[in-house]
Chains A and B, each alone.
Chain A
Amino acid sequence: MQTRNVLVVGVGGQGVLLASNVLAAACLARGYDVKKSEVKGMAQRGGAVVSFVRYGERVHSPLVERGRADLVLSLEWAEALRWAAYLRPGGVLAVDLVRILPPAAQLDHRTWQASYPAVEVERLRQAGWDVRPYEASRCAAELGDGRMANVVLLGAVSRELEFTVEEWEQALREVVPEQVVEANLRAFHAGRELPLASVSPGDVRRPAARTFRVEVTASWCKGRSCGICVRVCPEEVLAFGPDDRATAASPDRCTGCQLCQLLCPDFAVVVREEVAVG
């Protein structure tokens, strides 16, 4: 058989590596030669993660060239766009429609009106790829744990791959931590039943805008000689006012992390979420 090329991609924390490990284990269960390579440098920061899996009678290199992948398994929409060019003409792009704003798109934290690519499945289909959108995250959340979206999507794709259900189950039992094996087997089988998601053109679905208000009780604040809140704020919302007390100089930049409130020893800082009225 010809060597098969698969990419598993997503955002750090979604379980890209676990999904690719399950796939690799299924390949081994079938007796294939399999090689795997991954880029996960910024994974813990919500960055892009890619894992290459190549399997067949004899595999010499773990890397997949652009335009040569048979399957891209993407756990996130923007990551699907990033890696789609690795697909060969007619290759399958299975994508979870969950959307995670990458840090670079979060420069405008407050309103979350960051530019995020609209879900335009048709445009990708016109490029000649077989695009399969799924609501894997939603399915996993309904099963009780959104973290199993990777296994749900794997289940959905498993219908297209040559491995038997027994081989997949054996792979899952090998790779997934023991206490969650049963939950993941359920997620896998739910994935096998998962229908294609319907996507309306130009579907954007941004997170709802949130605004925050930083309140400083000046008479409680010990000012510049403490300075903890001003120094810990990652968005530089707080500054010292003319009376040397902390004040919310750039309130629009507040993202609601509440580090200032947690670390103010004087109970002077409180961050509240502003709830839109009407």
Chain B
Amino acid sequence: MIPDVRGYLRENRMPHILCPGCGHGIVLGALLRAVHALGIPQDRLAVVAGIGCSSRLAGYVDACTLHTTHGRALAFAAGLKLARPELVVIVLTGDGDGLSIGGNHLIHAARRNVDLTCILFNNAVYGMTGGQVAPTTQPGWVASTAPYGHPEPAFDGCALVQGAGGTFVARSMAYDPRGLQAILTEALEHRGFSYVEVLTDCPVYFGRYNRLGEGPELLWSQKARFGEVGQMLRDKRFVTPDGTAPAGRVEGLRFGILHRAERPEFTHVCWSQVRRGGDP
């Protein structure tokens, strides 16, 4: 049986503020099950978040939590990890928080290989501020600031972090909570910067603007919208009469653990330097 992980929640703060059908809670559930399976005690677990829907989740986890400024969660988390290396530090960030305003912090945390687990909730939209396009909005999709379809290409967060030097890069989706838990378990066990991008959904903006339905329909369509088999499974609305998917709507994101490497870890390197008293 799957364990009941509500003991990791601040139950007096529940229910959480996320909209009905929002996928973020599913991701948090998978994360808490991974934490539970690894037996990480709550006072050794630190959850750091920035600003945005996904970052609100930190406030509901009964652990050491830190709700920080927009985009700077990784900078706070890196400082926390340096000062308290014994903590398991998890960063919850969104596609706007982590890839837009916080994009610099993301690439530098990856470059330094700080021992953090960064979970980036990718719902391809700015949910908290009214459904504007995000850096991960794929071309063609509709948002409140792209009523005729988004004209720009999107970021591939995983490729970005891998290029910047991240040592564990993975992508999963809320549609697959078991697979997500397995990936998060490996990410938490990895020593170094682990980046897990999770596709979730915003029924209120992304789903409504793109006429994809509500929570359940969005969940089921995740595989079709994002997977490599997406073109075949794609909702008929997005298929042209000759049976081909229109250009600009082909995403084909890769899933699973995409990159794994071993490199000196930042906290370890810094503390070794301190212990040597500055001697080389």
Which residue numbers of A lie inside 8 Å of B, CB to CB?
A: 219-223, 225-228, 231-232, 256, 258, 261-268, 270-273
**B236 interface contact, C-beta 8 A:** no
CB nearest neighbor in B for A212:
B1
Q: Nearest Cβ distance between residue B53 and chain A, in whole angstroms?
A: 11
Q: Decide if B25 touches A265 in the complex (CB within 8 Å).
A: yes
In Å, the complex CA distance between A218 and B22 comes to 17
In Å, the complex CA distance between A272 and B6 comes to 13
Q: Nearest Cβ distance between residue B68 and chain A, in whole angstroms?
A: 23
Interface residue tally for chain B (C-beta within 8 Å)? 26
Contact for A265 among B5, B9, B22, CB less than 8 A: B22
Q: Decide if A267 touches B215 in the complex (CB within 8 Å).
A: no
Beta-carbon contacts under 8 Å, B12-30 to A: 14-16, 18-26, 29-30
Contact for A272 among B1, B178, B219, CB less than 8 A: B1
Which residue numbers of B lie inside 8 Å of A, CB to CB?
A: 1-2, 4-6, 9, 14-16, 18-26, 29-30, 177-178, 214-216, 219
Q: Decide if A267 touches B9 in the complex (CB within 8 Å).
A: yes
Chain B residues within 8 Å of A232, by CB: 216
CB nearest neighbor in A for B217:
A231
In Å, the complex CA distance between A226 and B216 comes to 7
Q: Decide if A222 touches B2 in the complex (CB within 8 Å).
A: no
Q: Decide if A265 touches B24 in the complex (CB within 8 Å).
A: yes
In Å, the complex CA distance between A124 and B23 comes to 55
Chain A residues within 8 Å of B25, by CB: 264-267
A271-B1 contact in complex given A226-B215, A228-B215, C-beta closer than 8 Å = yes
Chain A residues within 8 Å of B23, by CB: 265
Q: Decide if B216 touches A228 in the complex (CB within 8 Å).
A: yes
CB nearest neighbor in B for A256:
B1
CB nearest neighbor in B for A258:
B2
Chain A residues within 8 Å of B14, by CB: 220, 266-267
Chain A residues within 8 Å of B215, by CB: 225-228, 265
Q: Decide if A263 touches B26 in the complex (CB within 8 Å).
A: yes
Q: Decide if B6 touches A228 in the complex (CB within 8 Å).
A: no
Q: Decide if B18 touches A265 in the complex (CB within 8 Å).
A: yes
A262-B29 contact in complex given A227-B215, A228-B219, C-beta closer than 8 Å = yes
Chain A residues within 8 Å of B4, by CB: 261, 270, 272
Q: Decide if B1 touches A273 in the complex (CB within 8 Å).
A: yes
Contact for A220 among B15, B19, B21, B177, CB less than 8 A: B15
CB nearest neighbor in B for A268:
B15
In Å, the complex CA distance between A270 and B33 comes to 13
Q: Nearest Cβ distance between residue A210 and chain B, in whole angstroms?
A: 10
Contact for B20 among A226, A262, A272, CB less than 8 A: A226
Q: Nearest Cβ distance between residue A268 and chain B, in whole angstroms?
A: 8
Q: Decide if B21 touches A228 in the complex (CB within 8 Å).
A: yes
Chain A residues within 8 Å of B216, by CB: 227-228, 231-232
Q: Decide if B21 touches A270 in the complex (CB within 8 Å).
A: no
Q: Decide if B2 touches A265 in the complex (CB within 8 Å).
A: no
For the complex of A and B, 5 pairs with smallest distance between CB atoms: A265-B25, A222-B20, A226-B20, A231-B216, A225-B20
Q: Nearest Cβ distance between residue B40 and chain A, in whole angstroms?
A: 18
Q: Nearest Cβ distance between residue B279 and chain A, in whole angstroms?
A: 48
In Å, the complex CA distance between A231 and B18 comes to 19
Given contacts A227-B215, A228-B219, 14 further A-B contacts (CB under 8 A): A219-B15, A226-B20, A227-B216, A256-B1, A261-B4, A262-B2, A262-B29, A263-B177, A263-B219, A264-B26, A265-B23, A266-B18, A270-B6, A272-B1
Can you name 23 A-B pairs with beta carbons within 8 Å?
A: A220-B14, A222-B19, A223-B20, A225-B20, A226-B20, A226-B21, A226-B214, A228-B215, A228-B219, A231-B216, A263-B26, A263-B219, A265-B18, A265-B25, A265-B26, A265-B215, A266-B16, A267-B5, A267-B9, A267-B29, A270-B6, A271-B1, A273-B1
